[in-house]
Amino acid sequence: MSKIKCIVIEDEPLAAKVLTDYISQVPFLELQKVFKDALLAAEFLSQQETDLMFLDIHLPKLKGMAFLKTLVDPPAVIVTTAYHQYAVEGFNLNVTDYLLKPFEFERFLTAVNKVRAEQKKNSGEERDFIFVSVQKRRVRIPFSEILYVESQREYIRIVTTKQEYISKMGTNEIEELLPVRTFKRVHRSFIVSVNKIESYTAEEIFLHGVSIPIGRGYKDVIDEL
């Protein structure tokens, strides 16, 4: 799949630098331009196409949400702001994600992975891997190798057929990025690969010599199997 072309609309130099640095670390992102206000971005969009906008809300001349409402066919949008009260309005405008400043690279990567997954789904291309941040490196993990994911407070442990990875992200975040057909949440703290299940009872699942508990609220998931 070709790279995702993106623009940044941000009037704070430091915030813009953080975004450009993050973008430069993601292999599938290509930064086209940085704009200090929405009017300059609108002029650019009238002449060129982009796949993704990183959009600040409090901009000079024209606010971010007002600008977004003017676009007939907007690209994917990731809102970046220090104000949480605009989240509902943002999602009503179909933004892909809403990043509250200051945000770490791991959270940024989760947001752009959502954009990539959506574009692959729309193009009919089946995604077969995920990039996660592990000790300042972006690691490519094929879905076919993942056995299960375990929550460890603000971190997750991804156990594969080859090795384990620890990444700072939430279980809900990783769940959104995994194929729903082949990965199921069976416990508040565990997501398992359906294809790797060897056997199960009403209380636990066995895969690769490991026992995974089944949560009380997840019995229906096992029934579906």
Q: Which helix (H) or strand (E) holds 123?
A: helix 105-123
Predicted confidence band of residue 124 (pLDDT cuts 50, 70, 90): very low
> 4-123: which CATH topology?
Rossmann fold (3.40.50)
| Cis peptide upstream of residue 213 (ω within 30 degrees of 0) | no
Residues 191-205 pLDDT 10s: 999 999 999 998 999
Inter-CA distances, 206 with 174, 177, 217, 221, Å: 21, 23, 19, 15
What pLDDT score was predicted for residue 86? 60
Residues 8-36 pLDDT 10s: 999 999 999 999 999 999 999 999 999 99
Closest CA to 59 of 35, 85, 32: 35
Task: Domain 129-224: give its CATH architecture.
Answer: Beta Barrel (2.40)
**CATH 2.40.50.1020 segments of the chain:** 129-224
E-only strand ranges, 18-128: 29-35, 52-56, 76-81, 97-100
**CATH 3.40.50.2300 segments of the chain:** 4-123
Q: What is the pTM of this model?
A: 0.58
